[in-house]
């Protein structure tokens, strides 16, 4: 069921997920399309998430946005009234006033490894840290040990903060501790995106990746071909998987396997390394007598790609 409409206010809106934004020239959504998008969301009874660029919007846009309940996703420099801020560089001073905010760090694995001290500082300040990796497509089996090491260092940071009494959340490591079912991105199922061209897309990544095409527009309505292919119950590998924190990114699936419901080796291996790192963190916390919310037991698993055990489920 559709529950969210994401509205990209400009071509240069900050990226909050795996994709990069290729545009540098501003192109605001037209005021008419913004208002029509708000009306569409009201009629469909869905919540709106506005994604902002790195400059102040004209007053008439702010007035239209203020006319409806919404969530603001903003680059950190514009983030004073944001619900979610995206860190666009590693200057921590910019997050000094962001207590109780959800912060998204959008970075490559190497970039994260080089900024662990900054990550620790961010985690100590915000209510939730979401790390979105920009280089999933480049991951190879030769990177497994390095990613394990990075996750282990991130686990140390989470553990240290917990011991200091802070109730931290870091998507890659703590989500799996709390989940008891899949919690994926659900692009095209629970959310769609309205872009500055007045058309709908499965998510912002599909707007910026012009080869992928749109799924209708404000005037002609939503038109998702074969919508069942986006659903978990039509994804034979994912529906049996228990890396519940995985984004199950349909954009990466299309890019890497040419099929939106077939996951890539890269995404599966990385998600399983995160799952296993979450398990290790939980074991360590329990050994030391720490409780982390209402956590669930996570079985030990050596296989990193569910594709390799697929035959066993038939």
Interaction site with ligand SF4 (CB under 6 A): 17-19, 185, 187, 203, 205, 237-238, 241, 243, 246-252, 263, 267-268, 271-272, 306
Is there a contact between 48 and 7 (Cβ–Cβ < 8 Å)? yes
Q: Which of 255, 260, 204 is nearest to 232 (CA)?
A: 260
Is there a contact between 39 and 45 (Cβ–Cβ < 8 Å)? no
Q: Which of 233, 230, 199 is nearest to 215 (CA)?
A: 199
Q: What is the largest CA-CA distance in the chain?
A: 59
> Closer to ligand SF4 at the Cβ: 61 or 201?
201
d(CA 202, CA 72): 19
> Closer to ligand SF4 at the Cβ: 29 or 187?
187
At its nearest, how many Å lie between ligand SF4 and the CB of residue 221? 21
> Closer to ligand SF4 at the Cβ: 157 or 271?
271
> Closer to ligand SF4 at the Cβ: 199 or 248?
248
Q: Which of 105, 138, 113, 150 is nearest to 252 (CA)?
A: 138
The answer to whether the Cα torsion of 239, 242, 243, 244 is positive or negative is positive
At its nearest, how many Å lie between ligand SF4 and the CB of residue 276? 11
Q: Quick count: other Cβ atoms within 10 Å of Cβ 256?
A: 17
> Closer to ligand SF4 at the Cβ: 120 or 247?
247
Cα-flanking dihedrals φ and ψ of residue 5, to 5°? -115, 125
At its nearest, how many Å lie between ligand SF4 and the CB of residue 286? 24
* Residue 207, both tokens: 């707007």
At its nearest, how many Å lie between ligand SF4 and the CB of residue 58? 27
> Closer to ligand SF4 at the Cβ: 269 or 285?
269
Tell me the C-alpha to C-alpha distance, in Å, between residue 119 and each of 55, 169, 194, 242: 25, 12, 32, 27
- Beta-bridged to residue 222, according to DSSP, are 216
At its nearest, how many Å lie between ligand SF4 and the CB of residue 72? 17
At its nearest, how many Å lie between ligand SF4 and the CB of residue 53? 18
At its nearest, how many Å lie between ligand SF4 and the CB of residue 40? 19
> Closer to ligand SF4 at the Cβ: 50 or 251?
251
């Amino acid at each position: 069921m559709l529950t969210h409409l994401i509205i990209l206010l400009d071509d240069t809106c900050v990226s909050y997920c795996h994709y990069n934004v290729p545009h540098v020239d501003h192109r605001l959504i037209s005021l008419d399309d913004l208002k029509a998008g708000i009306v569409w969301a009201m009629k469909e009874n869905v919540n709106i998430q506005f994604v902002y660029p790195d400059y102040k919007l004209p007053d008439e846009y702010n007035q239209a946005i203020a006319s409806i309940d919404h969530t603001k996703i903003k680059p950190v420099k514009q983030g004073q009234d944001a619900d979610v801020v995206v860190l666009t560089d590693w200057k921590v001073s910019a997050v000094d006033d962001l207590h109780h905010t959800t912060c998204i760090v959008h970075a490559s694995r190497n970039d994260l490894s080089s900024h662990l001290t900054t990550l620790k500082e961010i985690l100590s300040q915000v209510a939730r840290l979401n790390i979105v990796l920009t280089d999933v497509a480049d991951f190879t089996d030769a990177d497994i040990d390095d990613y394990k090491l990075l996750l282990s260092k991130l686990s140390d940071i989470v553990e240290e903060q917990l011991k200091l009494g802070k109730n931290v959340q870091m998507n890659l490591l703590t989500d799996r501790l709390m989940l008891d079912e899949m919690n994926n991105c659900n692009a095209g199922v629970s959310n769609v995106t309205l872009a500055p061209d007045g058309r709908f897309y499965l998510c912002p990544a599909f707007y910026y990746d012009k080869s992928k095409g749109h799924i209708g527009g404000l005037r002609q309505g939503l038109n998702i071909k074969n919508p069942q292919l986006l659903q978990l119950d039509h994804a034979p590998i994912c529906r049996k998987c228990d890396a519940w924190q995985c984004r199950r990114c349909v954009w990466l699936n299309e890019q890497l396997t040419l099929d939106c419901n077939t996951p890539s080796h890269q995404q599966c291996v990385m998600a399983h390394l995160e799952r296993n790192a979450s398990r290790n963190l939980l074991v360590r916390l329990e050994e030391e007598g720490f409780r982390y919310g209402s956590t669930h037991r996570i079985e030990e698993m050596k296989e990193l790609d569910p594709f390799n055990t697929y035959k066993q489920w038939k």
